[in-house]
Structure 1
Amino acid sequence: MNARTIALGLGAAVATFLLAGAATIELLGAGEAPGIGIIGVVVGVAAGLLAGGLVSVYAGRLSGIAASALVAYATFGVAFIAIAGLRYVNVPYADDTFTFPVHLGVSVVAAVVVALLIDRAGSDGRTATA
């Protein structure tokens, strides 16, 4: 386990927290009861911790497209949280610029670009292992 696998684990934990929490809230009927949001957060935290731990332990064994996909997944989570942070601290024009579809799209594009860069670095003969 090195700094790269720990960073990938943290990124995967964030992405899994967001996806599992949002999916739980939507599946339980968002807005119908106040406790649904709390349940979504608890499920997201548990899934995120599990995913982060597994990625931190096993990411060093991945190579090729699997490593690129893992980096893209972690990048998505980090980009999504970074943009949300910009909106939270009221950076001028961030709320107007980053509507939810744009916010999601920028996060996905960042993930794809990073995955392509990692894949290209691996095809140039440099190591692209996670």
Structure 2
Amino acid sequence: MNARAILFAVASAVTTVLLAGAATIELLSAVYGESPGVGMLGLVVGLVVGVSVGAGVAVTAGRFSGISLAALVAYATFGVAFLAIAGLRYVNAPGADALFTFPVHLAVSLLLALAFAVLTARGLVRGVRPSV
């Protein structure tokens, strides 16, 4: 296991925590309504699934190549970009709240993920090499 595998594992875990937690909260809110317990359960589910995915990626990151590597880079980039933009909004960076409405926030995160995936597939991201 090298630094690249650990970086992919952490970034993939972040993405999974966000997605699994949000999905759990939405599903439980539809059944039980809005309550603090639903949010806490969503967070716990997200953390458990995220740690599991991160461990799996850490063990298998060296085996990814080509399109699967580009997909892993896209998945990992999405969560990190989404969290970074949320951080900008949280610290009240000037203009961030007005610029990054939720649809824009989501679109920018997806576009960054797509851009890094394309760059990885073409071999243009330093330190991440597609298979030969």
TM above 0.5, one fold? yes
Cα deviation for residue 22 of structure 1 reads 0.2
Distance 1:5 1:80 in 2: 21
Q: Which residue of 2 aligns with 1:55?
A: 57
One of 99, 115, 118 as aligned partner of 1:116:
118
Question: How far apart, CA to CA, are the structure 2 residues paired with 1:19 and 1:127?
Answer: 27
Q: What corresponds to 1:70 in structure 2?
A: 72
Structure-to-structure mapping, 1:79-94, within 5 angstroms: 79-94=81-96
Aligned-CA RMSD value: 1.4
3-state secondary structure, aligned to 1:8: helix
Q: Partners of 2:98 and 2:50 in 1: how far apart?
A: 30
The CA distance in 2 between the partners of 1:127 and 1:44, in whole Å, is: 30
**Structure 2, gaps ≥5 residues long:** none
The 3-state SS of whatever aligns with 1:114 is helix
Separation (CA, whole Å) in 2 of partners of 1:40 and 1:12 = 18
Shift of 1:34: 2.0
Residues in 2 aligned to 1:32 and 1:83: alpha-carbon distance in whole angstroms: 25
Query: Which one-letter code corresponds to 1:8 in the other structure?
Result: F
Identity percentage of aligned residues: 60
Q: Match of 1:29, SS?
A: helix
Q: Partner residue of 1:28?
A: 28
- When the two structures are aligned, how many residues end up with a matched partner? 126
After TM superposition, the score normalised by the length of structure 1 is: 0.92
Taking the aligned partners of 1:37 and 1:18, their CA distance within structure 2 comes to 12
Q: Deviations over 1:48-95 (max 9, x none)?
A: 100111001101011110011001000000000000000011100000
Match of 1:107 among 109, 120, 123: 109
Contact 2:120–2:129 under 8 Å retained in 1? no
Shift of residue 33, structure 1, vs aligned partner: 2.2
**How high is the TM-score relative to the length of structure 2?**
0.91
Specify which of 123, 126, 129 is matched with residue 127 of structure 1: 129
Amino acid in the other structure paired with 2:130: A
Equivalent-residue separation in structure 2 for 1:119 and 1:34 (angstroms)? 42
